[in-house]
Amino acid sequence: MTGYDSISVDQLQIGMYVSKLDRPWLETPFLFQGFYVRGKDDIVALRRYCKTVFIDKEQSAVSANGASAPVSEIPAKRQDDQVAKRKPSLLRRLAGRLSQKPIVDHQATGTFYRDTSSLKDELVPATEIHKLAFIGVQEVFTDLKNNKNLDFKSLTTVVDPMIDSVLRNQDALACLTRMRRKDNYLYGHSLGTAVWALVLGRHIGLDRETLQTVGLGAMLLDVGKTQFSTELLTKPERLETEEHKLMKRHVEIGLEIVKKNRSMDRRVLEMIANHHERYNGTGYPNGVSGNDIPVYGRIAGLADCYDAMITKRPYATAMSSLDAMRQLRQRADVDFQAEMVDQFMQAVSAFPTGTLVELNTGEVGVVMSQNNLRRLRPTVMVVLDADKQQRADFPIVDLAVQTKAADEKQSLWIAHGLEPGAYGIDPVKYYVG
């Protein structure tokens, strides 16, 4: 068998390798890079989304007479064959963080992921996961700064519990990530970017194995910066021209570091290589444009940019999520693919759960949950009155239902988002308190 064939989904056989679909990948739960048909469930799931598919005949594991291949002849899913050598202290502390609740795999079922844990319940394990993940990133990046090799296995150990938390409830880790204030920017940004990439990945239905790749790749985007001086990384003013040229080399340096692991997934390399490329070709290092930027590079660029915008940096204040979303919308099909921006905005929301907002009455509240049909009118817990004093009670207002202020004299809406930590408010305590 050589070449590619376009066939009807009804003609699919177990063992065939599907290399391309008849519609944009973002509109389906399947991945663009291809997958084996491993059973009848895969064919049923494909039938829901496609009429025809492209088959790579060279990779397909079917017999010479065209009969379906036995499962034993289908190449196994890619896995690391060797047991990871973990840092014992980190591994012990991460032990038990994985959920005992079954996590629905979108690829296997054809249905989108659904929360299996409430935000309040998930904040308990997510807090520990977030703390230990930060420690893990810090340890690995510090080792690199001290000229040691990249501890790829430790980062994988860190990413796995993050995936499970995001699949149980994506808002918990997201809320904790937004509250980051004084952490080292490089470590915190690497962790935050991984969280947003996982949230987007869950939203578009990536399977768990791919989520691990996306989370790891996002965490490694700025690994090249470990070779720069602290003075350069923490400079409070915008960089001079020569400094900026040096900083842009972090992409090249990062690839050199990661490529030392010869078994590194190519998609991780794509994310690192392309996270500063822009849709109109104005990015770096290669000026790649449009759909020539790999899908995983596009995911990386969006997650990296959003986390940078909502995080306080040495030379810039943190934006509210709403302001960041406005910027992303303005940059759609300029810096980022418009369809990808749409998916990201749906996944993260203009007023994400856990963010601080100010109502048009002057009151300040914490977003408690989303109204999927009216994304700009979530449910809010009011914590400060119009004079910015803490209330004795904390009324919960569903803005999709309550459209009038308490005095019934004016309409009620969110005037604007607030940056994390505004007025000294920690949203987390209103969920677990």
Task: Indicate whether 340 and 413 sit together in one domain.
Answer: no
- pLDDT of amino acid 182: 54
Quick check: helix, strand or coil at residue 7?
strand
Better pLDDT: 263 or 277? 277
Answer yes or no: is pLDDT of 79 > 60: no
3-state DSSP helix/strand/coil % of the chain, to nearest 5: 45, 10, 45
Task: Indicate whether 64 and 92 sit together in one domain.
Answer: no
Q: Which of 193, 186, 175, 126 has its CA nearest to residue 425?
A: 175
Answer yes or no: is pLDDT of 25 > 70: no
201 occurs within a structural domain: yes
State pLDDT tens for residues 213-243. 999 999 999 999 999 998 999 888 889 999 9
Q: How far apart are CA 365 and CA 380, in angstroms?
A: 6
Residue numbers of the domain that contains 40 = 4-70
Task: Indicate whether 304 and 392 sit together in one domain.
Answer: no
Q: How far apart are CA 110 and CA 103, in angstroms?
A: 14
Task: Indicate whether 197 and 344 sit together in one domain.
Answer: yes
Instruction: Give percent above pLDDT 70 in the chain.
Output: 84
State pLDDT tens for residues 320-369. 888 899 999 999 999 999 999 999 998 998 888 888 999 999 999 999 88
77 occurs within a structural domain: no
Task: Indicate whether 339 and 386 sit together in one domain.
Answer: no
Task: Indicate whether 249 and 394 sit together in one domain.
Answer: no
The number of residues in the chain equals 433
From residue 204, give the alpha-carbon distance in Å to each of 207, 401, 419.
9, 29, 27
- pLDDT of amino acid 104: 47
Answer yes or no: is pLDDT of 376 > 90: no
Residue 7 CB burial class (10 angstroms; 0-12, 13-18, ≥19) = middle
Task: Indicate whether 362 and 219 sit together in one domain.
Answer: no
Quick check: helix, strand or coil at residue 411?
strand
360 occurs within a structural domain: yes
Region 3-15 average pLDDT: 85
Question: Two tokens at 200?
Answer: 């987007």
- pLDDT of amino acid 109: 41
Bond before 352 cis per omega within 30 degrees = no
